[in-house]
């Protein structure tokens, strides 16, 4: 650390502060050390050969001082505290509407834990910031070099604590506006982070300053007094504040170490640059946060004796760079600033420009050709440097000059807020405007200021207008923020977007909509009238597939296998969700390429299953239509299926392969080789696993049913492709399930294969129903039969019969608890089961109530009973010979019909139709 000089321009101030410490502090040693140290820091920073420009983020005072200083000094080199790898992006700022954020993005991680990805660093830039002034000056002034000297985005993550050491990220409040989420979950870096480093100091400052939050404290105690101050005062005060926070910060944190490493990094980079280019330090300006201007690292200063800092190499992670739109509220949310503070800072900046006559630097819009006039314009002569004089004493000892009440400004606010409130459902009136005005002035007086600040006005408006309920979407506090500048949302210009994003905008041009607008736009596509819109629809479906947010949202129309679109309607929010499109641009050059990459990544993921691969095949057909690529995915599905050891996904596999086969058959194209391979592999695979699945407790009945479904419904195709049916029969014969549902399923399979007749099946079920010990478990058998509807549709009449029987015979205590399960099963598997079940029920049951009375279930209908024939034998013969007794008993019992005497029914038939018998006799005789 450099030794501070005891003399110099700040000696009287140092003495004065030491006296004050002696007079007021209980232990003067510590306090005077801090106070003197602060003055030393200021002295050291100001004596540095390389001019240090201390800034604070989103501070209009910093921006104003920067604009003034740049005009005065005309530096040739500007060193900026910003990630060095973001430099190439700066030129693109001229194509954007601020605020935007520079972004470094990485998904292919190498050197970081894989769980960290994707990595994203953003550095938001607002127009009212000092860094924008420096950037605009450097880019628009020929011969000026701008060098970002802070560590790269890669180092940001290298220096981050590992996740287990990190605190959990703060969750965004539930009522945060949508714009606050514009940055996603990126790590934010910004120039000039200046805030107390521990909570107690901030709380102390807020309590003594009688303000609510940090932004208000800063505005009242630094921003306002410094906005009109000269450059020397500005610089000295900012370094003083930076030094204060530095000295009152916890000494041993990760953050402190990281800050110091950054300072070493920046000074090393600057020294390297100066040595390489031979630039004169007097022509250079180092723009950094005030915190870093009071640095104590041994590398501080061009003439420091400290060794150079060993900059660690970057990891092999591939970083991509671009710009994403930002907004005031996103910046506030990211950096923990009070709501509306960045908007208020922007409003203060604009007001200061109107009032103060400072001409800010602004990046010129690209004209397409070089501007020779600008290039030829000579630089105005720089003002010679002034010697350092003590401005701090005056600043610290005198109260800041208070602004007089700006009555017209306040009146304007009051009238506007009432108007805005009325528009948002409040019953506000002119009387409220008067009350807000009066309350603002009173509040400002109570808080010791003559001119109400925006914060006083906001409080007054809430007091006078807000009642017990908020009538609309926005409360008065939010309305005030809107009034005082509102949330400004940036936009990345077309030229600054990655190729993919530009391509998307180009390809959607036929829609005839201005997609840069932030509103949601409705696109109506009628393909009969405008067939040329089909490619747009295709692109929109791909975007929908890639971006699951609301960037593009179909209102009408869907994309499924076998469907041809006729009309579609879309809600497009490409302007609002620019970030999503831009981040998509980091993945590839065209949307198709990104879809392809994602699909390929999905199927090669270690956790991928056959069902996932089949879904990818379907997506590939839907979105890409490339046969070769689809086949590649299909082959992967075959491999995955063969390698699977569980059948958990069997229902999904069955559903998807059925759909794909139907698609290929319907489109007329021959079945791809992978499909055939999938069916044969699946047939063998499921046959092998069937006996195990039947007995395995982990495997559900639905999975087994799906396996059987695959085996039965693909059977003909599989046999045609060379599979052996014996394999299936053996598998079914080897299955000996114990769970009732699976037993029922096994019986159904046997019935389907012809191993069990319908009569046997019916008898088995009847036996179960007759056994009182089995009755409580009978519903489980029924569950199995319900599952059999899909694999064995031939059994549907039997299932309906069984269900009807069960409903009739089972007691309520058994039946009722099972009903919810049945309903839930039917709901879940509605597409497979309900059509067959409903069709069968329609066939079986009567269609109206009247028919119900005379209805007999088909399974109860029996053939008309043949008249009883008395059995032959001595008893029969006796009765036949004396029929009177029997007739009398029959009459008594009410039985009708008479005696059939003589022959057996067969003899009677033969007698009635003798031709057949005679022909047979002739045949036998012949």
Binding residues (CB under 8 A) for other proteins: these are 207-208, 210, 212, 427, 429, 431-432, 435, 438-439, 442-443, 445-447, 459-460, 462-464, 466-469
Tracing tokens 């290298």 back to the chain, one arrives at 158
For the CB of residue 398, give the shortest distance to other proteins in the complex, in Å: 18
Q: Which of 102, 121, 50, 78 is nearest to 361 (CA)?
A: 78
Report the distance separating Cα 789 and Cα 654, nearest Å.
14
Tracing tokens 């600033």 back to the chain, one arrives at 337
For the CB of residue 213, give the shortest distance to other proteins in the complex, in Å: 10
For the CB of residue 391, give the shortest distance to other proteins in the complex, in Å: 25
* Closer CB to other proteins, 207 or 861, in the complex: 207
For the CB of residue 28, give the shortest distance to other proteins in the complex, in Å: 17
* Closer CB to other proteins, 439 or 630, in the complex: 439
* Closer CB to other proteins, 200 or 310, in the complex: 200
For the CB of residue 435, give the shortest distance to other proteins in the complex, in Å: 6
Q: At what angle do helices 673-695 and 725-734 cross, to 10 degrees?
A: 20
* Closer CB to other proteins, 205 or 311, in the complex: 205
* Closer CB to other proteins, 263 or 475, in the complex: 475
Helix, strand or coil, per DSSP, at residue 668: coil
* Closer CB to other proteins, 462 or 513, in the complex: 462
Q: Where are the beta strands (DSSP E) in 221-334?
A: 284-289, 320-325
Which tokens is 603 given?
């199927």
Buried b / exposed e along 1-10 (16+ C-beta atoms within 10 A): ebebeeebbb
Report the distance separating Cα 728 and Cα 267, nearest Å.
77
Tracing tokens 């940090």 back to the chain, one arrives at 214
* Closer CB to other proteins, 207 or 813, in the complex: 207
* Closer CB to other proteins, 464 or 786, in the complex: 464
* Closer CB to other proteins, 343 or 440, in the complex: 440
Report the distance separating Cα 570 and Cα 554, nearest Å.
4
* Closer CB to other proteins, 285 or 410, in the complex: 410
Q: What long-range pairs does 252-255 form, CB within 8 A, spacing at least 24?
A: 253/197, 254/161, 254/165, 255/197
For the CB of residue 177, give the shortest distance to other proteins in the complex, in Å: 21
3-state percent helix, strand, coil for the chain, nearest multiple of 5: 60, 5, 35
For the CB of residue 454, give the shortest distance to other proteins in the complex, in Å: 14
For the CB of residue 126, give the shortest distance to other proteins in the complex, in Å: 27
For residues 288 and 266, is the Cβ–Cβ distance under 8 A?
yes
Which strands make up the sheet holding 521-526, listed edge to edge?
Answer: 521-526, 567-572, 552-556
For the CB of residue 209, give the shortest distance to other proteins in the complex, in Å: 9
| Torsion of Cα atoms, 361 then 366 then 369 then 372, to 10° | -10
* φ and ψ of 324, to 5 deg: -125, 150
For the CB of residue 180, give the shortest distance to other proteins in the complex, in Å: 22
* Closer CB to other proteins, 470 or 534, in the complex: 470
* φ and ψ of 321, to 5 deg: -125, 145
* Closer CB to other proteins, 193 or 459, in the complex: 459
Cis amide linkage into residue 776, ω under 30° from 0: no
Tracing tokens 């690529």 back to the chain, one arrives at 629
For the CB of residue 439, give the shortest distance to other proteins in the complex, in Å: 5
Q: How far is CA 150 from CA 111, 132, 136, 146, 711, in A?
A: 21, 16, 19, 13, 64
Tracing tokens 């009034």 back to the chain, one arrives at 483
Report the distance separating Cα 380 and Cα 369, nearest Å.
24
Which strands make up the sheet holding 119-125, listed edge to edge?
Answer: 187-188, 119-125, 100-106, 320-325
SS3 of 679-731: the string is HHHHHHHHHHHHHHHHHCCCCCHHHHHHHHHHHHHCHHHHHHCCCCHHHHHHH
* Closer CB to other proteins, 396 or 446, in the complex: 446
Q: Which of 466, 484, 454 is nearest to 213 (CA)?
A: 454
SS3 of 10-47: the string is CHHHHHHHHHHHHHHCCCHHHHHHHHHHHHHHHHHHHH
Helix, strand or coil, per DSSP, at residue 119: strand
Report the distance separating Cα 652 and Cα 657, nearest Å.
9
For the CB of residue 31, give the shortest distance to other proteins in the complex, in Å: 14
For the CB of residue 217, give the shortest distance to other proteins in the complex, in Å: 13
Report the distance separating Cα 696 and Cα 735, nearest Å.
11
For the CB of residue 823, give the shortest distance to other proteins in the complex, in Å: 24
> What does the longest C-alpha to C-alpha distance in the chain come to?
153
For the CB of residue 375, give the shortest distance to other proteins in the complex, in Å: 54
Q: Which of 697, 695, 698, 713 is nearest to 653 (CA)?
A: 713
* Closer CB to other proteins, 436 or 689, in the complex: 436
Element holding 650 (H helix, E strand): helix 650-666
* Closer CB to other proteins, 1 or 396, in the complex: 396
For the CB of residue 411, give the shortest distance to other proteins in the complex, in Å: 17
For the CB of residue 336, give the shortest distance to other proteins in the complex, in Å: 17
């Amino acid at each position: 650390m450099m030794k501070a000089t005891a003399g110099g321009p700040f000696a009287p101030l140092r003495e004065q502060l030491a006296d004050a410490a002696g007079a007021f502090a209980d232990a003067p040693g510590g306090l005077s050390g801090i106070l003197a140290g602060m003055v030393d820091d200021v002295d050291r920073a100001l004596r540095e050969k390389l001019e240090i420009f201390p800034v604070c983020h989103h501070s209009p005072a910093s921006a104003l001082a920067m604009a003034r200083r740049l005009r005065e000094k005309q530096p040739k080199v500007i060193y900026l505290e910003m990630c060095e790898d973001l430099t190439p992006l700066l030129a693109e700022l001229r194509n954007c509407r601020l605020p935007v954020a520079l972004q470094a993005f990485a998904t292919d991680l190498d050197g970081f834990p894989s769980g960290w990805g994707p990595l994203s660093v953003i550095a938001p830039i607002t127009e009212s910031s000092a860094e924008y002034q420096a950037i605009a000056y450097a880019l628009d002034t020929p011969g000026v070099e701008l060098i970002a000297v802070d560590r790269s985005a890669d180092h940001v993550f290298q220096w981050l604590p590992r996740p287990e050491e990190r605190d959990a990220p703060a969750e965004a409040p539930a009522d945060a506006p949508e714009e606050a989420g514009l940055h996603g979950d990126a790590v934010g870096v910004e120039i000039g982070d200046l805030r107390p480093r521990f909570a107690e100091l901030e709380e102390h400052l807020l309590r003594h300053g009688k303000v609510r939050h940090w932004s208000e404290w800063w505005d009242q105690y630094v921003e306002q007094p410094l906005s009109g101050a000269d450059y020397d005062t500005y610089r000295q005060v900012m370094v003083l504040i930076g030094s204060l926070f530095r000295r009152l910060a916890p000494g041993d944190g990760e953050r402190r170490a990281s800050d110091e490493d950054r300072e070493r990094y920046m000074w090393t980079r600057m020294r390297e640059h100066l040595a390489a280019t031979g630039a004169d330090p007097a022509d250079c300006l180092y723009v950094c946060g005030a915190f870093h201007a009071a640095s104590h690292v041994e590398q501080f200063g061009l003439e420091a004796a400290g060794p150079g800092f060993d900059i660690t190499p970057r990891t092999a992670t591939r970083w991509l760079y671009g710009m994403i739109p930002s907004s005031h509220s996103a910046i506030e949310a990211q950096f923990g600033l009070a709501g509306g503070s960045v908007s208020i800072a922007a409003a203060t900046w604009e007001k200061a420009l109107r009032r103060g006559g400072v001409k800010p630097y602004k990046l010129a819009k690209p004209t397409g050709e070089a501007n020779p006039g600008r290039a030829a314009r000579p630089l105005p002569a720089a003002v010679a440097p002034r010697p350092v004089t003590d401005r701090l004493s005056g600043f610290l000892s005198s109260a800041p000059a208070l602004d007089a009440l700006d009555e017209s400004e306040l009146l304007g606010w009051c009238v506007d807020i009432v108007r805005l409130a009325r528009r948002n459902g409040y019953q506000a009136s002119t009387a409220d405007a008067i009350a807000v005005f009066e309350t603002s002035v009173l509040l400002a007086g109570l808080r010791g200021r003559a001119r109400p600040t925006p914060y006083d006005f906001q409080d007054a408006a809430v007091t006078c207008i807000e009642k017990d309920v908020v009538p609309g979407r926005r409360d008065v506090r939010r309305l005030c923020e809107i009034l005082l500048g509102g949330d400004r949302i940036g936009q990345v210009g077309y030229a600054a977007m990655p190729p993919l994003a530009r391509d998307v905008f180009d390809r959607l041009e036929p829609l005839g909509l201005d997609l840069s607008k932030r509103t949601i736009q409705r696109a109506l596509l009628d393909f009969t009238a405008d067939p040329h819109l089909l490619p747009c629809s295709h692109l929109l479906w791909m975007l929908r597939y890639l971006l699951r947010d609301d960037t593009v949202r179909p209102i009408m129309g869907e994309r499924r296998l076998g469907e041809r679109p006729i009309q579609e309607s879309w809600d497009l929010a490409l302007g609002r969700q620019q970030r999503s499109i831009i981040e998509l641009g980091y993945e590839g050059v065209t949307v198709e390429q990104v879809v392809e990459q994602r699909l390929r990544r999905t199927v090669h993921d270690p956790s991928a299953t056959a069902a996932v691969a089949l879904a990818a095949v379907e997506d590939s057909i839907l979105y890409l239509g490339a046969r070769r690529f689809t086949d590649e995915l299909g082959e992967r599905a075959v491999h995955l299926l063969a390698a699977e050891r569980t059948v958990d996904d069997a229902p999904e596999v069955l559903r998807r392969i059925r759909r794909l086969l139907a698609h290929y058959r319907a489109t007329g194209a021959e079945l791809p080789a992978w499909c055939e391979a999938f069916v044969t592999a699946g047939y063998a695979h499921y046959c092998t696993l069937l006996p195990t699945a039947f007995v395995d407790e982990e495997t559900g009945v639905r999975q087994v049913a799906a396996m059987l479904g695959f085996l039965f419904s693909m059977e003909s195709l599989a046999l045609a492709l060379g599979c052996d049916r014996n394999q299936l029969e053996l598998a079914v014969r080897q299955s000996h399930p114990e769970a009732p549902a699976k037993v029922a399923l096994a019986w159904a399979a046997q019935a389907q294969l012809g191993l069990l007749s319908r009569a046997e099946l019916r008898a088995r079920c009847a036996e179960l129903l007759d056994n009182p010990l089995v009755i409580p478990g009978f519903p489980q058998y029924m569950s199995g039969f319900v599952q059999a509807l899909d694999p064995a549709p031939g059994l549907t009449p039997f299932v309906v019969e069984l269900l009807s029987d069960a409903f009739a015979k089972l007691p309520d205590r058994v039946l009722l608890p099972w009903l919810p399960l049945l309903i839930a099963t039917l709901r879940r598997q509605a597409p497979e089961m309900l059509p067959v079940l409903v069709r069968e029920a329609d066939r079986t049951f009567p269609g109206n109530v009247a028919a119900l009375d005379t209805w007999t279930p088909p399974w109860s209908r029996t053939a008309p009973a043949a008249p009883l024939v008395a059995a032959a034998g001595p008893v029969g013969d006796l009765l036949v010979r004396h029929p009177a007794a029997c007739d009398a008993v029959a009459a008594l019992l009410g039985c009708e019909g008479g005696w059939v005497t003589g022959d057996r029914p067969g003899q009677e038939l033969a007698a009635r139709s003798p031709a057949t018998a005679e022909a047979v006799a002739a045949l036998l005789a012949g």
